[in-house]
Amino acid sequence: MIVTGFDGSAAARAAVEWAADDALRMNTPLRIVHAVDRWPYQIAKFPPPEWSDAMEQAGEKLLAEAEGIVRSRQPTVTVETRLIEGSPALALREEAVQAAELVVGSRGLGGFAGALLGSVSMHVAGYAPCPVVVIRGERGPVRGEIVVGVEDSSDCAPALAYAFEQARLRGSTVRAVHGWQLPVHVYSPGFVYDLDDIKNRQLKAVTEAITAVRKEHPDAIVVEDVRQQHPVEALTEASKQADLVVVGSHGANALERALLGSVSRGVLHHAHCPVAVVPIA
């Protein structure tokens, strides 16, 4: 099941459209949720009935709108709606437990995506047990390419698996991007290094990282893209010609999960297309 949040904003609408398309590709149901969060409005825990009714009615109206978007765009997708009481961050985290994918817009009206590139989004992406897809900007033309960030370790395996599966569903090419920089010590006086040798070792690391995933997708078209750039810069540049950028979530402890890794955070802020943050474990 795919879950998406909706608050009526343009970004949330784009997220619902993206989620509907992915639900069709994955042949899975779609759940649209809206959180009735009274705290931003400083409404008492037990407000007058008319206040509660008004907020719930507004939420139900938004959910009906979102359901209409899905039925108009992808009429064969099974869709359900759910009105939830509580904060958007907690609601999204709870829904993500049952989801194969969580889709949210980059900016909203104060509901699910109001602070998506701030503490709420980083918290959700860091803690969610499933891939979190952040829809950025307006829908662009189909590029036919999925970009995935590759590291020289096995940590990127879940992100690679997700990227290859997205490419299979779309009939797209996978661009495996690895950005690297020279270590600071190479600038020390008298230090000698072979730039070609470093580049070859970086390329070998990328090839080794994707070998196992390629066995599961023998027909995949893969471009191994190694760049002497900061990873965020490399992925941001590649995102200009991509339909989706996939990065791994590096949270090893509670604080790191809440903040995400620097690369994931940077790509979320700067990418030119939707970004999927995939948990490592």
Please, what are the averages of pLDDT over each run of 10 residues along the chain (281 residues)?
A: 92 93 98 80 53 78 97 98 87 90 75 46 75 82 96 84 97 95 60 70 84 91 93 96 91 48 85 92 67
Query: What's the pLDDT score for residue 237?
Result: 97
Q: Which helix (H) or strand (E) holds 133?
A: strand 132-135
Domain boundary among 75, 104, 135: 135
Q: Is residue 212 part of a domain?
A: yes
Query: What's the pLDDT score for residue 188?
Result: 55
Do 128 and 168 sit in the same domain of this protein?
Answer: no
Do 40 and 74 sit in the same domain of this protein?
Answer: yes
Query: What's the pLDDT score for residue 258?
Result: 46
Q: Is residue 63 part of a domain?
A: yes
Query: What's the pLDDT score for residue 49?
Result: 52
Query: What's the pLDDT score for residue 254?
Result: 47
Do 35 and 152 sit in the same domain of this protein?
Answer: no
Query: What's the pLDDT score for residue 140?
Result: 81
Do 150 and 73 sit in the same domain of this protein?
Answer: no
Domain boundary among 135, 167, 199: 135
Query: What's the pLDDT score for residue 172?
Result: 98
* Cα–Cα dist 54/195, whole Å: 65
Number of domains in the chain: 2
CATH of the domain at 205: 3.40.50.12370
What angle do helix axes 262-270 and 119-127 make, rounded to 10 degrees? 130
pLDDT digit string, tens, across residues 34-47? 988 765 554 555 55
Q: Is residue 19 part of a domain?
A: yes
Do 92 and 187 sit in the same domain of this protein?
Answer: no
CATH of the domain at 6: 3.40.50.620
Instruction: Look at phi and psi of residue 53 and say left if phi exceeds 0, alpha if psi is from -120 to 50, else beta.
Output: alpha
What are the two backbone dihedrals, phi and then psi, of residue 65, each rounded to the nearest 5 degrees? Answer: -65, -45
What pTM value is reported for the model? 0.86
Do 114 and 176 sit in the same domain of this protein?
Answer: no
Do 104 and 181 sit in the same domain of this protein?
Answer: no
Do 233 and 252 sit in the same domain of this protein?
Answer: yes
Query: What's the pLDDT score for residue 239?
Result: 96
Q: Is residue 78 part of a domain?
A: yes
Do 26 and 127 sit in the same domain of this protein?
Answer: yes
Q: Is residue 140 part of a domain?
A: no
CB-based burial, 251-265: b 16+ in 10 Å, e otherwise? beeeeebebbbebbb
Q: Which helix (H) or strand (E) holds 211?
A: helix 195-216
Query: What's the pLDDT score for residue 111?
Result: 45
Do 165 and 61 sit in the same domain of this protein?
Answer: no
Query: What's the pLDDT score for residue 120?
Result: 53
Do 19 and 127 sit in the same domain of this protein?
Answer: yes
Which domain range does residue 56 map to? 2-135
Domain boundary among 105, 135, 165: 135
Do 149 and 275 sit in the same domain of this protein?
Answer: yes
Q: Is residue 198 part of a domain?
A: yes
